[in-house]
Structure 1
Amino acid sequence: MVQISRAIVHEIPKGKYSADGEHTVALSSAETTLAPETRRFIEENMLDFGLKSPRQIVEDPDAGSTTPTFIREILSDPDRFVDASQGIALNLHRAQTGNSPSGVLIVATVTDAGSSSVIILKAEHAEGMRLRRVGDEATGRFDLQHLNELIVGNNSRIYKIALLSEATGGVAGDMVDQQNGVAFADFFMSAFLGCRLADNSEVQTRQFMQSAMNWVNKSVPSESDQARYATALIAYMGSPATSFQATEFADQFLEAEVRDDFVRSLPDDVATSVVNKDLALVPGQGAGLRMYAPGVVVSASAVALERGDLEILSEEGQSTTIRIRGSLKRYGLGSAPKG
């Protein structure tokens, strides 16, 4: 369990930083004294709950953030705690995007499994109602009071949390983005924390599938080949294998004369590497394929494609026929597709 040793709170304004902007960071000039119940609430309802499923992050020197330097200062020199935390708060404001809401930044030194770390927690303001009884039980009533600066606990998805410590090669630790799930906000992880994912396989998996599908749509002239390659991509990525390799896919499923062009269309770090497969960021986790025509969208599962339940036939005159094996089970209502 994470235990807080020292803490300080700063208020971060909404929106993107501007040198001449009217909104500035409200900095604390002294540590925040935490009552026992407040400390318990933060430790149990915010930190322990929020850090149940973290992702490992490591310092990225190319990010250009000074936050890792401030982390090292806090861990090595207790007298730098307040000043370094102020620098961290200013870094967050400068890194924010235009739609970033206001909130508070909690910087704390903690012990976790006997080692010292720094917690950085961004919590947005929330709204709620407080129930208050006025008068006695016989003649009294209940009043409701609107509260617009709540910082709530484990029922909310308003936190970004990083638990960082010194490691070989720089600062490293865990991060959770409860707003974006596995799709971490880049401004927070990179521009602010100065870190990157220790394993970004889900990003590389998405890059591979998106780039491969873009290549199918833009570089393959034959509609029958497009259908064959797109179906092969879904089958390849849906296999039980825990990793994938672009050149392996090309060798197994693409005609020899287009393989080099396909590999060149991919990002460099995906084109030649063996990548751990993680479909978390892929729409539908790669479990199906959609086909688009003017006013028409057809969707098929990977299982149906593998069984051959759907056949795409390219005909003369820029005409395509989609043949479904078996009978249609039912029709349903839905929104009209775009385009």
Structure 2
Amino acid sequence: MHLLNFNVDRIIIHQVYRRDPDGNKIVPTQSHEFTNFEQSAMQEFKSRVKDAIGEGSKAVQMEIVNQETNDLPTLVDQLIDKDNVGFAVSSYDIAKKLTEAQQTKSIPGGIVVIFSGTQGSHSKRFLGIIKAEVHSGYEKEINPKTNEISLKFVEELLLTPGTRLYKTAGFFEKFDHNGISENLNDKWIVMVSDYQISKAEGKAAAHYFYSDFLGCGYPETSARTTKQFYESTRLFISEMNATEERKSSLLNALTTYLKVETSSTISSSDFAEKYLDDIDLQDTFTAYMKSTGLPDNAFTKDIEHIEKQLQFRKVNFRSNVKITAPSDVFKDLVIIESIDGDIDASGSPAEWTKVIIKDRIIKQE
């Protein structure tokens, strides 16, 4: 998601709590005043938001599933139109929705940050939600007069470089929304990320956060997008100005990236950073993938449509010679190199391929 001309105009923060030892909900603490960061703190806050759900992030675009009156997407759709007084009051409903969604005692408390603003060349509106989790031993500072968390605590939790226990969602108003459709997916693009889980467990976000709380789900087109990624990357590699050995290595890497790596999200920039060691080539690859219609951001990996292709690596030669092997052994046992062959009529050597298979023959037919 390109967050150009990114402006935040309202921030309000409420506090949510872990359930008590008996599993009962604890009523969240409501804030009544907007949070006003000084300029440097605001820049850091916006930077954190961009890192979480902006271009190049691990955020995943999701679909709005629940659109009834009391569902969070409907609350967001209504909240964005309210004046400051109404925004401050109604934002507390989001904290209550989060409290409802946190149904187990293992889910930590923290603060829920609701903020709005505009972004893009046409200054379209957005509403963002951050849950910043409070780990055990982190001392909360409470204002004795208002019983609300202090701004100092908020700044430390949100802006300290080592603090990244975030779950973040952004509802971005679409440029081409006509105001007629009642389907909220026609009005809003939803980006969701969970820094802690995407790094540790290979998931895009905790289920309670994106489903029970946000009322969203993974797009049904993930399998088609993954297939497009696979086919476009293969084509890019096959047309590279590189040795056959290099191309073979990258095709092995593509299989590993889609089949072996545990992350549930993939992106062109992530593949480029991991497997293309030249910066110019990385830029060329990401630009090429964008030109094919693939999203800039990470998207959910679903190999349903390419599962069979990922099981085997195949190499075909013009003379109808073929080499086929399971993908997991191909990368370890098959070495492909380009070599010079016999001199042709023009005096140039023919392009041949040397294949080394690190195993012995057990049968010929």
Structure 2-normalised TM-score? 0.48
Could you tell me which residue of structure 1 aligns to residue 216 of structure 2? Answer: 195
Q: Give how far 1:37 is off.
A: 2.4
Residue 175 in structure 1 maps to residue 192 in structure 2: yes
TM-score (normalizing by structure 1): 0.51
Counterpart residue number, 2:78: 73
The aligned residue for residue 206 of structure 2 is 185
Deviates most, 76-85 or 63-72: 63-72
Aligned to 2:52: 50
Say which of 95, 101, 115 aligns to 1:108. Answer: 115
1:124 to 124, 130, 133: 133
Alignment size in residue pairs: 214
Contact 2:197 2:205 in 1 (8 A): yes
Within 5 Å, give how 1:211-230 maps onto structure 2: none
- Cα deviation, 1:266-313, whole Å, max 9, x if unaligned, reads xxxxxxxxxx96359xxxxx889xxxxxxxxxxxx733279999xxxx
Partners of 2:69 and 2:80 lie apart in 1 by: 20
Deviation readout 1:301-329 (Å, 9 max, x if unpaired): 733279999xxxxxxxxxxxxxx966xxx
On the 8 A contact 2:60/2:204 being kept in 1, the answer is: no
Gaps of 5+ in 2: 140-152, 175-180, 227-251, 260-299, 305-309, 313-325, 335-357, 361-365
Paired residues of 1:71 and 1:165 also in contact (CA < 8 A): no
Q: CA deviation at 1:4?
A: 0.9
Inter-partner Cα distance in structure 1 for 2:206 and 2:106: 12
C-alpha RMSD of matched pairs (Å):
4.4
Could you say if the C-alpha distance between residues 39 and 277 of structure 1 is closer, same or farther in structure 2, counting changes exceeding 3 Å? closer
Output aligned runs, 1:237-252, within 5 Å: none
Q: What does residue 302 of structure 2 align with?
A: 278
Aligned-pair distance for 1:56?
A: 1.0
Larger relative strand fraction: 1
TM-fit CA distance, 1:198: 2.8
1:98 aligns with 2:119: no
Are 2:71 and 2:215, in contact at CA under 8 Å, matched by a contact in 1? yes
Which residue of structure 2 aligns with residue 32 of structure 1?
35
Q: In structure 2, what is the Cα distance between the partners aligned to 1:47 and 1:197?
A: 21
* CA displacement at 1:179 relative to structure 2: 1.6
**CA deviations over 1:59-104 (Å, ceiling 9, x no partner):** 1127996211221122122242112210000000110133111211
Contact 2:14 2:29 in 1 (8 A): yes
Match of 1:303 in 2: 328
* Contact 1:17 1:94 (8 Å CA) reproduced: no
**Cα gap change, 1:238/1:61 in structure 2, threshold over 3 Å: closer, same or farther?**
same
